[in-house]
Structures are given as C-alpha cells and as structure tokens.
Amino acid sequence: MSTTRTHTRARTALRRAATVTALAAAGLLGAAGIASAHVTVHPESYAKGATDGVLTFRVPNEEDSASTEKVQVFLPTDHPVLGVLVHPQDGWTPKVTTTKLKTPVKTDDGTITDAVSEITWTGGKIGAGQYEDFDVAFGQLPDNTNQLMFKTLQTYSDGKVARWIEAPAGGEEPENPAPVLKLTAASDENAAPTASKGDSDGASKTTAASSDSSDSTARGLGVAGLVVGVLGLAAAAFAILRGRSAR
C-alpha cells in the first residue's frame, strides 16, 4: 500500500474520532438542557417558619414552535403559605384563588382560616428559548414540614399542557418534576451573624483564597485537557509511522 493511502486512512480515522467526540459532547449538552427545562422555584430552600420572603417561579419555554401563554402554580393547603402577595408582571394578568383551610393556622396576629391555593398568570407570552420569572411574596412559611411542593401547569399556544406535578421518588428526579422548596431547621447557629470590620476583612481573605483555589482548579483542568490532546495526537502519529514501517 502506498504512503498516500496510509496518510488518507489515518486522516479518515482521525476525522471519525473527532466526529464521535463532538457528537458525544453535543449529546451531553443536550441532556443537560433537557434536564434544566422544567419549572423551578428559587431560592431552593428557606428556614422553617421564615417570614417576609419572596419565592420566584422560573418558567422556561421548551417548545420550538409554540409559546407559553398560561402558567398555573398550585400552593399546598395542608401546609399553607400565609400572606401571599403577587408581584405585578408586565404583560401578565394574575388571578389568585383562596381556599378554606381544613385546619386553621394560629399566628401571633390571630387565627388564619383561608390561604392562597392557586395563582394563574395569563395574557403574557414566553417565546422559544426564553423564560419568565414570576415573583410571589409571603408573610410566613409553615414550620411543621420539611418541604413544600408547588405543582405547576404550563399551557402552550398550540394547546399542549406541560404538567410539572411529580414528586421526587427514591432520590431520583422524575420526568415531570414539580418545583420543590426545601425547609430547613431554623436555629441561631444557622443564622448569618452581622460582620464587623475584622470579620469583613477575614471574609474577603476567605473569598480571595476560594477564588485562587477555583482558578488553580480551572488551570489544572486546562492543562489536563492539553495533555490528553497531545497524547491523542502522539498516538495518531505513532499509528501512521507504524503503518509506514509495516509496509
């Protein structure tokens, strides 16, 4: 076999390897995109019984040929969120539904017998490749549960309804997960202390050290990638030379 044919086969093998690598990377990125396309609540956690906070429901549009035109968030009533207020959203009209509680909640301000059970936003539009944040303020979160699940329905302009209503099972995320807010134990130890000037300086040093550590890690990963690339090219060159020697 001629040297020209050997070079051609080697180049073909390298091109195939590069194609397989690119497709694998694209598959990983695609999977990550799909996994993050569901409705989520932010922040992911609050202290039990927290007061005067805000929950943000992030709604991404995962359809290429349709836009999101309606969002329905259902709030739990077995562990109700008290004092709910909806932030005005440009282009969207909210509708708040309240429900009589089976078990009234006693607070310092009196006994609460009704709570918000559903918030529906209509009139707006979330296009392909876009998302919308819907802010909801609360007066108080429950202190007798470890999490709150907010089942959500997302209606598209073509009539399709994405039902984000499934609860996590066995530690694995379901196909259509509902937004879940974790409630952590409230204690003085978990409370963030007010930083003095000295504490602030110490925090700055800690932040700088963390940043340096992150930079070192990034550089290490970059070097590792270069080494892998060089080894791959060396292996290809060796294969070519070996082919020449064999012939």
Report which of residues 214 and 126 the model is more confident about: 126
For 71-108, the pLDDT digits (tens) are 999 999 999 999 999 999 999 999 999 999 999 999 88
What is the reported pLDDT for 100?
97
What is the C-alpha separation between 246 and 241, in angstroms, rounded?
Answer: 9
Angle between helices 197-246 and 3-35 (to 10 degrees): 150
CA angle 125, 128, 132 (to 5 degrees): 50
What is the C-alpha separation between 7 and 31, in angstroms, rounded?
Answer: 36
pLDDT higher than 70, residue 180: yes
Residue 22 confidence class, pLDDT cut points 50, 70, 90: very low
What is the reported pLDDT for 72?
98
What is the reported pLDDT for 172?
83
Backbone angles phi, psi at 162, to 5 degrees: -90, 125
Residue 247 confidence class, pLDDT cut points 50, 70, 90: very low
Cα distance between the two ends of the chain: 7
pLDDT higher than 60, residue 245: no
For 42-65, the pLDDT digits (tens) are 999 999 999 999 999 999 999 999
Closest CA to 190 of 53, 46, 14: 46
What is the C-alpha separation between 147 and 168, in angstroms, rounded?
Answer: 11
